[in-house]
Amino acid sequence: MAHPTTSAPDSTYVRKGFGLKAEVQDTLASDYTGHLVDLLRARDYTLQVGDTTIRLAREFGFCYGVERAVDYAYQTRRKFPEKRIFLAGEIIHNPHVNAKLKEMGVVFLAASGKGFDYSPVRAEDVVILPAFGVTIQDFQTLRELGCVVVDTTCGSVLNVWKRVEAYARDGYTSLIHGKYYHEETRATASQVEKYPGGQYLVVRDMAEAELVMDYIEAKAGRQTPRPALAREAFLEQFAKAASDGFDPDRHLDRVGVANQTTMLARESLAIGAAVGEAMARAYGESHRAEHFRTFDTICSATQDRQDAVVELLREPLDLMVVVGGYNSSNTISLAALCAEQVPTYHIADPDEIDAQANAVRYRRIGPHHHEDAMSPWLPLTGALRVGITAGASTPNNKIGQAVARVFALRGIDPATIG
């Protein structure tokens, strides 16, 4: 059974909510809105008290897809107050939002192999699909169980699925820029299975894409900048990131590039361009025209937030604070952009800032992304300009709380800001 993307096959599949938005709006507002964020917006995204200035990126926080997913989860709880409600993984990658759902009695299903463990689910239960979507296999399992399925898969993710499905239909291997273990990438990759022989390969970054390009060119007998991997070494390198039966000697002849929607946009575009150029060098322009496809499938919200950070970084800033889950890819991408220009602190939650101790716990930006701490963190006197942004799964109240803690650390009572 194929995963539906536009219309509901029956009453147990819900993709457009339950018409209860008005009923849950007040609860959503109390859980996730923030006074200081509203104030920043009203004052041209700037709050200045004495010699402390905070600048907020003009695009930040909850995107439409995240708002919709959280809204539908709240509607589901309102619609089925007595039913058991399960969630496949996390609704989004934000610890605060997921904690709220747990408080509401939503049970999070654990990952099992390449999918989730649905053994606790019965036909009379409800299962919410996250904004990332789930694999075709997961969806088929749920439909066979007969439970109510509430599908919050983001529309931008569905657009990538359609692209990957078209690649598989036309005999192209999907080369996906993403993290092979990420829920969204797993769901996207599974779309190739709608067609017999469909194949995919996931590359994490340009360095892994270069391994693919070297293999393509070496197979064509061209000299490569680096020694190309032998077939067995290539398969070992991508063992967890390739479809079953993937053979680089056969399945890199026709390639279509797509991406996880929350990756760094400029890197996705660069990978697409570079792979196309490698195919042209290997086999000529006519081969590229017939054997290569690429499309920018970064979602507009991800792009907007990255563009807004680039714009903000043109200003003089002493540091950036990036608020969002440590497993949030779009937040990690924002932090990586910021770290190129200014000292950057990626915090999962405002609680990571200890205003009294002038300390911060944060996630270092880099290949290993380990957590670290700094104390003392900020100068207590003198001019200070702090930039702030947040990933698309971060609610406004958490952004506002981070702003409040920076002010408090500098001896400013946030309650007096108005």
* Contact present, 255 and 165 (Cβ < 8 Å): no
219-253 in b/e form (b: 16+ CB < 10 A) is beeeebeeebbeeeebeebbeebbbeebebeebbb
Q: At how many degrees (to 10) do helices 64-79 and 21-32 cross?
A: 120
CA 394 to chain centre: 12
Give the H or E element holding residue 404.
helix 396-409
* Among candidate residues 162, 201, 153, the one with its CA nearest the CA of residue 178: 201
* Contact present, 200 and 185 (Cβ < 8 Å): no
In the numeric block, which tokens belong to residue 137? 């296999």
Radius of gyration of the chain (CA): 23
- Angle among Cα 242, 246, 249 to the nearest 5 degrees reads 125
Active-site annotation, residues: 184
Amino acid at 222: R
* Among candidate residues 52, 56, 32, the one with its CA nearest the CA of residue 416: 52
Q: What are the start-end ranges of the E strands in 220-342?
A: 255-259, 292-294, 319-323
